[in-house]
Amino acid sequence: MKRNVVILITAALILTSIGLFWASAGVEAMAKWRDLAWRIINFIIFIGILYWAAGKRIGQLLTSRREKIRDDLLDLDQRRTEADKKLREVEDQIKDLDAERERVLADFQNQGNALKEAIIAQAHEKAAQIKAQAESAAAQEYKLATERLREELADMVVETAEKMIQNQLTKEGHEKLIQQSLTRVVLH
């Protein structure tokens, strides 16, 4: 209803101004103004018929368009709010990532140090085992070498003794030694 009043007032103002221009102009100009007035009147009638035939539909279309725009704006505001919230969450996660990274690096360093100490301890144990084995092997080799040396020395002593005895022993001394050996064997 308010629109109708606005349209009627606008049409009245246009017609009044055309009439004023018509009255002030000459005959030639009056024909031009008359033509312009009829065109304006035709345009106003056309708009009136268009409004009467499709006014409600156009009004509904414009209203629905306005509501859709309003809904879209509300949806955009809501999505912006959600996006801001997600942004804050991501920023918090990024801050947490820095702390998490530092914690993980510290854990890896601790694990690396522990592994290094374990490897060093194992190496010391292996070295001690190898040293003990080497000492044992050296002692055994020493013992074997000592026994071989004793055997060789004993053989050398026996050979030397035999040579000395053979050089100093006579036939009579030889028979005397045999008798003594036989006596010992029989007595035992």
DSSP letter assigned to residue 1? -
Using N-to-C axis directions, what is the helix angle for 27-168 and 2-24, rounded to 10°? Answer: 130
Q: Going residue by residue through the chain (188 aa), what tens digit of pLDDT does each one get?
A: 677 777 778 878 877 776 666 666 665 666 776 787 788 889 888 888 887 888 778 778 888 889 999 999 999 999 999 999 999 988 887 777 878 888 889 999 999 899 999 999 999 999 999 999 989 988 899 899 888 888 888 888 888 877 777 777 677 777 777 787 778 777 65
Structural tokens at position 102: 């530092």
| End-to-end Cα distance, the chain | 157
**What is the distance of C-alpha 72 from the center of its chain?**
38
Question: Distance between CA 96 and CA 38 in Å, rounded?
Answer: 77
pTM comes to 0.34
Cα angle 12, 30, 28 (rounded to 5 degrees) comes to 165
